[in-house]
Amino acid sequence: MKACLEGVANYILADYLRWSDFDKSKRVAKYVENGVMELMPIADKKHYAFKYVNCHPHNPAKGLSTVIAFGALVDVSTGMPMAISELTLTTAFRTAATSALAAKYLARKNSRSMALVGNGSQAEFQALAFHYLLGIEEIRLFDKDRQASEKLAANLAHTGMKFVIASDVASAVKGVDIVTTVTAEYAKAHIVTPEMVEPGMHINAVGGDSPGKTELHPAILSMGPVFVEFEEQTRIEGELQNVAPDFPVVHLWEVFGKTKPGRSHEEDITIFDSVGFALEDYSAMLFMRDAAKELGLMQSISLVPELADPKDLFAYLGVGSSIPVLMDKVPVEVR
């Protein structure tokens, strides 16, 4: 887990540092009642990548995950798919790695404690990324479903980190260095309110990532500089939806590249309005591809017809000849 989170974070940082190499766009979203389905494309000169991802907060009641994802890496020079991957786990890794990376530049250097509000699927990954990348040792947990907090504490008992289950958000947040919110509710929720925020805190707001779905009281955004991945997308999907369209923001790539300051004073309040950007999926997919190759875990699947004559697709069907249609070339069912 440590090597994987560090590896994903390193790939993400390296790619944010070459921001201008990428052809970037906000994601294409299809909103439905109680959910969203999104396509997230991005490309540089070598690779085109896309992710499909959803968010359906009522899914757990149906025995399904709130967020699932998959995607592909394509060779720009030929358009041929190079790798196709599950991205549900990878999304959790890359979201947590991005959160910890942002906090490394924005939170106080001696940060040791964090409040983690929302203890569902993403939460263990957030906890581990902050533990391994920042040295966070103590986490106060709060979830409206206490069993979710108990599940998290049990899943991560082996790490030696200290977990305290709080009775409400205010007591989880009181006195910590970093506040991470990763709840899922289709509402403009006020999970964290201004009176809970203390000087020097870093806020990592992860769960608000769709129109009409936010977690912070809007007044919190005026308490310190707000940092974003890709402004065009965050204004539509992030906490920024609740403030004026010209509300000032700083891009993460500018902070990583040291062209703009992150935290200027110990007492500053810093806010990362995370929504998840295609660049992070690109980086994470490349990391997973490279790691899988190194570990001998890549599997070959039949996705593209292999043609004797690239102009003769019809011959592939075997119609009119004695060669049967190859049964391993039919679509695969999702398990």
Q: Which residues are catalytic?
A: 209
Nearest Cα to 178, choosing from 230, 276, 109? 109
**Distance, CA of 33 to CA of 36 (rounded, Å):** 8
Question: Of 4-12, 118-126, 156-164, 322-330, which segment contacts ligand NAD by CB under 6 A?
Answer: 118-126
C-alpha–C-alpha distance, residues 211 and 205, integer Å: 15
Q: Which stretch binds ligand NAD (CB under 6 A): 171-179, 194-202, 203-211, 316-324?
A: 203-211
Token digits of residue 8: 């994903």
State the distance between the two ends of the chain, measured CA to CA, in whole angstroms.
25
CA nearest to 239, candidates 203, 262, 215? 215
Count CB atoms within 10 A of the CB of residue 310: 8
Which stretch in 37-45, 106-114, 274-282, 312-320 sits in contact with ligand NAD by CB under 6 A? 274-282
Query: Which of 41, 207, 225, 262 is close enough to bind ligand NAD by CB under 6 A?
Result: 207
Residue count, binding to ligand NAD (CB under 6 A): 30
Tell me the C-alpha distance between 114 and 116, whole Å.
6
Rounded Cα–Cα distance for residues 281 and 134 (Å)? 22
Residue of 274, 278, 283, 288 that binds ligand NAD (CB under 6 A): 274
Give CA–CA dist 294/216, Å, rounded: 42
Q: Is residue 66 close enough to count as binding ligand NAD by CB under 6 A?
A: yes
| Binding status of residue 209 toward ligand NAD by CB under 6 A | yes
Q: Is position 71 an interface residue for ligand NAD (rule: CB under 6 A)?
A: no
Which one of 95, 111, 214, 241 is in contact with ligand NAD (CB under 6 A)?
95
Binding mask 157-196 for ligand NAD (x = CB under 6 A): -------------------------xxxx---x-x-----
* 41 contacts 50 by C-beta, under 8 angstroms: yes
Q: Which residues bind ligand NAD (CB under 6 A)?
A: 55, 57, 60, 66-67, 91, 95, 117-123, 143-145, 148, 182-185, 189, 191, 206-207, 209, 274-276
